[in-house]
Structure 1
Amino acid sequence: MDVIPINYELTFEPDLKNFTFSGTEIITADCKKSTSTISMDCAELKIISCHVHSRGNPVKSKTSLNAKKEELQIKLSEKIKGKVIINIEFQGILNDRLLGFYRSQYQQNGKTKYLATTQFEAADARRAFPCWDKPEAKATFEISIIADNKFSAISNMPIKSKKKIGNKTIYNFTKTPIVSTYLIYLGVGEFEYLTGKVGKIQIRVVTTKGNKSKGKFSLELGKKLLTSYEKYFGIKYPLPKLDLIAVPDFAAGAMENWGAITFRETILLYDPKTSSTRTKQFIAEVISHEIAHQWFGNLVTMKWWNDLWLNESFATFMATKFVDKFYPEWDLWNQFIEDAMNVAMSLDSLKTTHPIDVTVNSPAEIREIFDAISYDKGGCVLRMLEHYVGEPNFQKGLKKYLSDFKYKNAEGQDLWNAIGKASGMPVSSMVHTWLKQPGFPLVEINQDGNVLKLKQKRYLLESDKKFSKGLWSIPLSLGMDDEFSKKLFTKKSMSIKLPKNTIGFVANYGRKGFYRVKYDEGILLDLKMLVDEKRIPGIDRWAIQNDLFSLCVSGNEQIRNYLDFSDAYFDEDSYLATVNVAHNLASLYFRAFNEKFAEEIRSYAVNYFRKILFNLGWEPKKSDKHTDALLRSFVISALGKMNDDEVTDEAIRRYKKFLKSPSSLSPDLVEPICSIAAWNGNSKTHAELMRLYKNAKTMEEKLRFLGAMCSFKDKKLLIKSLDFSQTPNVRSQNMQLPIMKVATNPYGDKVLWPWLKKNWKKLNKKVGHGNPLFNRIVASISSVADDSMEKEIKTFFKKNPTPGTERTQTQTLERIRINSKLLRRMRQEFKDG
């Protein structure tokens, strides 16, 4: 960079009637080289005037905007060098696309209200003011906001002074520390505040009027987390205040703006009367994730977006670690493995995956890598690394990294160096094999007496010679009651001698490593007995069948082997293994939904599910584990959709009672019960759910009914629900939800693709380019298509380009082929049944 910003003095005046804003800025910068052109990032803004001073003297200047490059060029009448001051007046639009400086609308007592808020990550600060919109262009900011008297204003720092001028108030905020543009925040609205203190730091939950009482859980948790992170990092929280702000319209889940974190309302507001167990847990995880960013991301920031993954996966990993400290009974690490590891492995076993450390050039490419590789695989790699070097060394390296680079920018390599130094281990070379190449390994194990022969190769769901290269440094661990062998497996193959009298073993003990294991038949037979007798830890019982199931999908194992193996889990008592076996059996049944052999798979699944429900019962009990609530709702809704008579009758009885007395159902059961009612329902049921949706008080409740509306068998009613998702009744941030739900409904397979084709242009316009939600819509197609449609879908994508979803499109086509091949193999395998 030839011109480096030092300080921005910014004033914004948003107009919430005409949805525009005007702004002025005074930038102090340093020209490193002598130049007659200054280029800045700038998009969708109108420049009113621009004055440049160099060394105290005015310099004539002319501005030109390049919309395509999102660039403002200031051409100067002479060459300048050294300190420069740039004065710009500009105007912009308060858009409704949920990025840049945007407006959000909500209803209050039947009136439509508006607020203005910002979302600048990755590269949208340029839509609010001309700037150098790169993470490494850190500067200080002095922000002022002029707002109508009925509004209040929020930014990253506390208010320094405010003054009334007629019907407006001008708010001046104190100067920020050095920070990147993507972390700046501006908010204007009719807010209310719930306030607390941690030491000298003021911490608030900010909501629209009438909602602050639902912020208690978040405020208390925020206070605890702030103190715990300060301790762990050994660095005080760097700002005088922290706001947690609930925004009605928000594309992501939350955003870590420094000192002013924004959230979707459903991820910050918790109401013990109406919120589900899952919501409470999700709120805790997201708050923890965003507070971790205040240090890792905000205080120390990546140089460029190719290290985005480190920012995100680190926050994901830390969030789990800290919430687990406060709520050990939530079993969070096990859930992390069920969610993050499963999701990451499913994406990373495609040919069309990408390495964690990926080159990104343009803002559109950045948005495309906010995916399960950047968040979840990264989180798993950090967990593997922590286990490899040991927890104390990991923390020591981290502290060093944060204190060396505070208020600066760093690269991933800087962190590996710090942890490598702290541990005296080959961290860099080990980690690189997981970051620089796509995919992950399968370790095949054959036993010969007390010698194990191991081979590693890239694991793919669709085998392909062209993509099968790869060699990893695998921290290989073996164990049974506890770990008895740890080695770094760095070659294509190796042998290990088992200690004498070993009765059995599990590889990838504790599932710390990001790899799958294929055991030979003899070992599997021993493992089945060890699982049945619970002689190995719950996490390993989960892992063995999890790998076995995946090998069925990739064609390396027979489905019947999996079904037989699942018998060992009939008396399973750990949440993790129970829920995963349940998911796998249900997914096999729904894949075989229209086939003759579906009944054989159904009988396995129904027996398994009935046993779980028998143990749990329908009613939540005081003695329930946290995870029982999660399991109960899944099991009831699955049995309902497998047409289990007892569950269906009971669910419909409870649904009828719920219509008369809404408090008769626990929040955890509302969606499963309403879904079963829909599954067995007609247009009258559809109208009832629609009414429940429209009358629901909170967004969380609305989304439950919206989900249930996608569970009908009647195709006409499914289309009706999809059409409803396009009306103003459903916020654009939620309209991907019905599409994803219909995709997983076996009666939706003939409905969804024709509907998507018909509505593609509208959807594209409503969601807007570069919105991460559109990738979910594209991905949903893999659940409803088979490979006979591949050509048609490809051609459709070509004719209807949606920039920012190209990678997801190729992944979706690959998933369609994998699913179709699996179904053909199942037909083959079961036809001689």
Structure 2
Amino acid sequence: MGKGFYISKPTGFVLLGLGAGAVLTILTLSVVYTQEKRKNEANSIDETRMVMTTAAYSTSAPSNKPWDKYRLPDTLRPEYYNVTLWPRLVADKQGMYIFTGKSGVAFKCVKETNLIIIHSNKLNFTLTSEMHHAKLTGLEGTHAPAVLKTWFQTQTQFMVIQLKENLQVGKSYWLYTEFRGELSDDLGGFYRSEYVENGVKKVVATTQMQPTAARNAFPCFDEPSMKAIFHLTLLHPPGTVALANGMELGTESMTINNQEVLLTRFEPTEKMSTYLLAFVVSEFINIRSPPEANVLIRIWGRREAIANGQGDYALNVTFPILKYFEKYYNTKYPLSKSDQIALPDFAAGAMENWGLVTYRETSLFYDPKVSSNEDREWVVTVITHELAHMWFGNLVTMRWWNDLWLNEGFASYVSYLGADYAEPTWNIKDLMVLQQVQRAFAVDALVSSHPLSSREDEVITPDQIDELFDTITYSKGAAILRMLSEFLSESVFAKGLHNYLHEYAYSNTVHTDLWKKLQEVVDADSSIQLPASVNEIMNRWILQMGFPVVTIDTQTGSISQQHFLIDPEAVVDKPSDYNYEWFVPITWMKNGSNMGQHWLLTKTASYEPMKTDTDWVLANLNVTGYYRVNYDSHNWERLLTQLTSDHKVISVLNRAQIIDDAFHLARAEIINITLALRTTQYLSEEKEYIPWESAIRNLEYFFLMFDRSEVFGPLQTYLRGKAQPLFDHFKVITSNWTQKPPRYMDQYNQQNVISMACKTGVKGCSELTRMWYRQWMKKPDSNPIPPHLKPIVYCNAIATGGVEEWDFGWKMFKNSTIGGEAEKLLFGLSCTKVPWLLNRYLEYTMDPNQIRKQDIIFTIVYVASNEIGQPLAWDFIRANWESIIKDFEGGSFFGSLILGVIKKFSTKFELQQLQRFKEDIAASGFSFGTHAIEQAIERTKANIKWVSENKAQVMNWLIEQSVSL
């Protein structure tokens, strides 16, 4: 479908009338605002939040009535909206920031009904006729039934309009409303963000609609399949600019009630879902692509940040990435512009609003003088993630949230392809194993995990939808699609995507639609040989939770699979149509020679080529498959021998895999813990980042479990011996820490070695970090710390320092105008060992003047990662959880907080506290984060069991290693 869209003649007349009536719109909004202002002056703040009579609301118990169901009935379909909004960027006398608006929606009746049910949440409506909050008219001469009554179903977030007669099937109608809402600071819907510039507070009106918050801005059919065209108009103060999904068509200046305002109209959007809407009013400035570019690229942000060049990198990579995706999808970018805007307050990393992508500042801004390459990597991967959505998610959208993984898993996967194109020297695609695959494994090995795709009726409420934005959806989704692309080939995968996007453009799909288009390409290519259809293979990976561990016995040639669970005694009470069996693509090698691919289709099979008495066998090459691998003891020994004799024969990714698989197999009691520890013995010879990172992540579990026990000393001694050679290596290649390592991955590994060296007491490490930090304290305007080492240096220097070091770090944090720098300091401040400083830091999270709301979760989790801070953070959450939930109104954020704080839990007492906390939340009626608390309980039980079974073995093995040195 082309960029344009067809407007029927009657529709055109309606739009013409709406355009010509812009002044009338403003006057109407002015009247609404004046009425509300008078009411505010006459009532208390609490009363002004609800100006409709309580009789207009229904809070009765749920029934089988359509308004008591969370899903919209299938009787009406929206066609287009006309929405005008006027946000006030100055608080009224009651201290409230408000917005007023009017909205009209044209919809078609597709099934007979006398009800109009439309989403509306936290909005107060002006009566448009006697005792009614909406006005209904017919289009194309259609008679509109009279309104019998209207009410608001608060639990299901509906405005319900009951009509005296049925609507006519096939006919279109126009529903008009006028309303008022609060421009609050809750980071959702239409909200406000604040910052200080030259000592003056600035207010930004901005949006975050995903997943169910468009209804907070105006009445709408707020489900992803209810796609429509949106005509937006914004009123805003002089000196501000207004942005929306479409390009600005023009701005007019006018005076209303002695108040100067600007009116900006925007070109209509493409047909799209409500959650992709965005509009922003701010004093931001922009940089833009040159005029010859066929798509206008603009990077928006605070005046100081843009003027200082922090948006330059984003501008430089955005257009090439857009062109890369056009080529990859073989589908043209369908819009005339791509605005990207950095917001001071934003809950998520970024949001893929079509044509107006919103970001945290740390996800869009990069300052080469202050920021690190890691910051630059984050910016480019977030940009590629969001731009990937312009096609996969925006052009073609999942039908319902149960298939959210189609959007997010796909964008997470191809973000690495786009970033690799933008930065080809980084070898960034290899990081998928660490950042996505291993991350997904950790969560998906729990019985409290969930399938990638559930039935629609299992995901109904806003809370249930919100909890889907998790590691499974993003990281497992990416890992599964990477595996699919590998066994199909990237070219077949990309061709199938093109066909999918072409057929379903501007509409909605389910996952089987993607399988169908991929299958068509497979059927046309005789070189692709699959053991079953794409549908049969992939449904096993997305419709049941978890993943297999494949066991290879090189003595007999047998291979088998079983559902991998980190707790071997865990009981899976979730039935699966596939009995937790998968069609597993096994790539493998023998003594370094690639042996191709073999499919494991049953629980157990025999494969003669894998039988050997002398050669080592390694499966899942470069970890392209979403499964772990175990071997017979003889093969494990041969692999360990190869690592210690010449580890470079095995690829970097597979060295990381051997370590990660071994430690998790040991935690699941499939192999002995000492075998896992032996995979780290060769690390004194390892110089590559990815294997070291894999080892550190797994050894971090030992620090979490043992940092309060007698095991900690021998653990430190052992790891000091492994870190010392790498520390010395980096000291040499950086000319005594004065230069940056030349390779990108080495910069990551330099962070690792300094962190591990300081943690384990390598001589000279703490002195190095303190020296750098002290130099900075003497000259605050000249930071000598290498940008990529700042998080490690800040943390270690503040940990070994006292109040003076902490207060200096806090001052630098408060004065920072660069998001990435502030984030590093936010982490470093959590490392102090002074309890009262940590308690004060936690209290700061309750004051938005100290720590922004978007940073609350990170700050608390950072403190909890500190062995001194963990019990303080846990006490803090239990004392303040209701306030935290109220602030975020979302299970995914609260869930991340819980899982981050309980990582160290490994005692029965801590388990009892966690269970009591779950009961307290349940008793209060809140449902936020319940899934995460269940995962936390499961993880704690596994930790308790693991410590009791492995503590003595680990202690003895570590002591043996120190004796043998």
TM-score (norm 1): 0.96
CA contact 1:355–1:437 (8 Å) conserved in 2: yes
Q: CA deviation at 1:594?
A: 2.6
Q: CA deviation at 1:575?
A: 2.0
Counterparts of 1:296 and 1:575, CA distance in 2: 32
CA contact 2:287–2:299 (8 Å) conserved in 1: yes
CA contact 2:305–2:818 (8 Å) conserved in 1: no
1:771 and 1:702, CA in 2 relative to 1: closer, same or farther beyond 3 A? farther
Deviations, residues 674-707 of structure 1 (Å, cap 9, x unaligned): 2112221222322222222222222222222221
Alignment match, 1:193: 286
Deviations, residues 529-571 of structure 1 (Å, cap 9, x unaligned): 2223122221111111110011222233333322323122322
Alignment match, 2:125: 47
Deviates more, 1:620-629 or 1:422-431: 620-629
Which letter does structure 2 place at the counterpart of 1:817? K
Alignment match, 1:794: 915
Which letter does structure 2 place at the counterpart of 1:434? W
Q: CA deviation at 1:487?
A: 1.7
Alignment partner of 1:172 is 2:265 = yes
Q: CA deviation at 1:361?
A: 1.2
Q: CA deviation at 1:217?
A: 0.3
Alignment match, 1:11: 84
Give the 3-state SS of the residue equivalent to 2:378 in structure 1: helix
Counterparts of 1:566 and 1:499, CA distance in 2: 26
1:207 and 1:759, CA in 2 relative to 1: closer, same or farther beyond 3 A? same
Give the 3-state SS of the residue equivalent to 1:8 in structure 2: strand
Match of residue 803, structure 1, among 927, 930, 933: 927
Alignment match, 2:537: 430
Give the 3-state SS of the residue equivalent to 1:246 in structure 2: strand
Where in structure 1 are there 5+ consecutive unaligned residues?
none
Alignment match, 2:13: none
Alignment partner of 1:734 is 2:861 = no
Alignment match, 2:180: 91
Counterparts of 1:803 and 1:687, CA distance in 2: 38
Q: CA deviation at 1:119?
A: 0.7
CA contact 1:156–1:185 (8 Å) conserved in 2: yes
CA contact 1:457–1:470 (8 Å) conserved in 2: yes
Counterparts of 2:794 and 2:901, CA distance in 1: 25
Counterparts of 1:640 and 1:623, CA distance in 2: 19
Alignment match, 1:772: 892
The number of residue pairs the alignment matches comes to 830
Alignment match, 2:485: 386
CA contact 1:7–1:140 (8 Å) conserved in 2: yes
CA contact 2:705–2:904 (8 Å) conserved in 1: no
Counterparts of 1:465 and 1:809, CA distance in 2: 16
Alignment match, 2:164: 77
Alignment match, 2:801: 681
Alignment match, 1:545: 659
Counterparts of 1:476 and 1:165, CA distance in 2: 68
1:687 and 1:406, CA in 2 relative to 1: closer, same or farther beyond 3 A? same
1:7 and 1:571, CA in 2 relative to 1: closer, same or farther beyond 3 A? same
Alignment match, 1:813: 937
Q: CA deviation at 1:285?
A: 0.3
Alignment match, 2:682: 568
1:324 and 1:411, CA in 2 relative to 1: closer, same or farther beyond 3 A? same
Q: CA deviation at 1:525?
A: 1.2
1:750 and 1:115, CA in 2 relative to 1: closer, same or farther beyond 3 A? closer
Alignment partner of 1:411 is 2:510 = yes
Alignment partner of 1:825 is 2:949 = yes
Alignment match, 2:40: none
CA contact 1:651–1:676 (8 Å) conserved in 2: yes
Q: CA deviation at 1:754?
A: 2.1
Q: CA deviation at 1:56?
A: 4.8
Counterparts of 1:682 and 1:555, CA distance in 2: 43
Q: CA deviation at 1:500?
A: 9.3
Q: CA deviation at 1:230?
A: 0.8
Alignment partner of 1:714 is 2:819 = no
Instruction: Say which structure is richer in strand.
Output: 1
Q: CA deviation at 1:485?
A: 3.2
Alignment partner of 1:21 is 2:21 = no
Alignment match, 1:597: 711
CA contact 2:121–2:215 (8 Å) conserved in 1: yes
Alignment match, 1:35: 113
Where in structure 2 are there 5+ consecutive unaligned residues?
1-73, 92-96, 129-133, 524-529, 574-578, 960-965
How do 1:457-606 residues align onto structure 2 when only pairs under 5 Å count? Answer: 457-464=562-569, 466-467=571-572, 470-480=580-590, 481-498=592-609, 503-532=615-644, 533=646, 534-606=648-720
CA contact 2:467–2:891 (8 Å) conserved in 1: no
How do 1:642-721 residues align onto structure 2 when only pairs under 5 Å count? Answer: 642-661=760-779, 662-721=782-841
CA contact 1:582–1:608 (8 Å) conserved in 2: no
The structure number with the bigger radius of gyration is 2
Give the 3-state SS of the residue equivalent to 1:528 in structure 2: helix
Counterparts of 1:38 and 1:589, CA distance in 2: 58
Deviations, residues 305-325 of structure 1 (Å, cap 9, x unaligned): 111011001001111012112
Which letter does structure 2 place at the counterpart of 1:371? D
CA contact 1:190–1:208 (8 Å) conserved in 2: yes
1:149 and 1:57, CA in 2 relative to 1: closer, same or farther beyond 3 A? farther
Give the 3-state SS of the residue equivalent to 2:112 in structure 1: strand
Deviations, residues 358-389 of structure 1 (Å, cap 9, x unaligned): 23112210110101100001100001111111
Counterparts of 2:794 and 2:621, CA distance in 1: 41
Give the 3-state SS of the residue equivalent to 1:98 in structure 2: coil
Counterparts of 2:789 and 2:272, CA distance in 1: 45
Q: CA deviation at 1:436?
A: 0.8
Deviates more, 1:304-313 or 1:631-640: 631-640
Which letter does structure 1 place at the counterpart of 2:549? L
CA contact 1:582–1:605 (8 Å) conserved in 2: no
Counterparts of 1:186 and 1:597, CA distance in 2: 55
CA contact 1:66–1:72 (8 Å) conserved in 2: yes
Counterparts of 2:213 and 2:415, CA distance in 1: 26
Deviations, residues 117-146 of structure 1 (Å, cap 9, x unaligned): 111111110011111001111111111111
Match of residue 312, structure 2, among 175, 195, 216: 216
Counterparts of 2:476 and 2:829, CA distance in 1: 33
Counterparts of 1:349 and 1:336, CA distance in 2: 18
CA contact 2:758–2:766 (8 Å) conserved in 1: yes
1:586 and 1:646, CA in 2 relative to 1: closer, same or farther beyond 3 A? farther
Deviations, residues 299-353 of structure 1 (Å, cap 9, x unaligned): 1111111110110010011110121123232222221101211110000001110
Give the 3-state SS of the residue equivalent to 2:830 in structure 1: coil
Deviations, residues 617-650 of structure 1 (Å, cap 9, x unaligned): 2636365211222221232123223333421122
Give the 3-state SS of the residue equivalent to 1:366 in structure 2: helix
Counterparts of 1:643 and 1:721, CA distance in 2: 27
Which letter does structure 2 place at the counterpart of 1:797? K
Deviations, residues 216-238 of structure 1 (Å, cap 9, x unaligned): 10011001011111111111110
Counterparts of 2:235 and 2:595, CA distance in 1: 65
CA contact 1:733–1:773 (8 Å) conserved in 2: no
CA contact 1:585–1:601 (8 Å) conserved in 2: no
Counterparts of 2:951 and 2:104, CA distance in 1: 70
Give the 3-state SS of the residue equivalent to 2:565 in structure 1: coil
Alignment match, 1:398: 497
CA contact 2:552–2:558 (8 Å) conserved in 1: yes
RMSD: 1.9
Give the 3-state SS of the residue equivalent to 1:35 in structure 2: coil
Alignment partner of 1:749 is 2:870 = yes
Which letter does structure 2 place at the counterpart of 1:200? N
Alignment match, 1:290: 386
Alignment partner of 1:455 is 2:551 = no
Match of residue 123, structure 1, among 212, 223, 227: 212
Counterparts of 1:153 and 1:228, CA distance in 2: 29
CA contact 2:640–2:678 (8 Å) conserved in 1: no
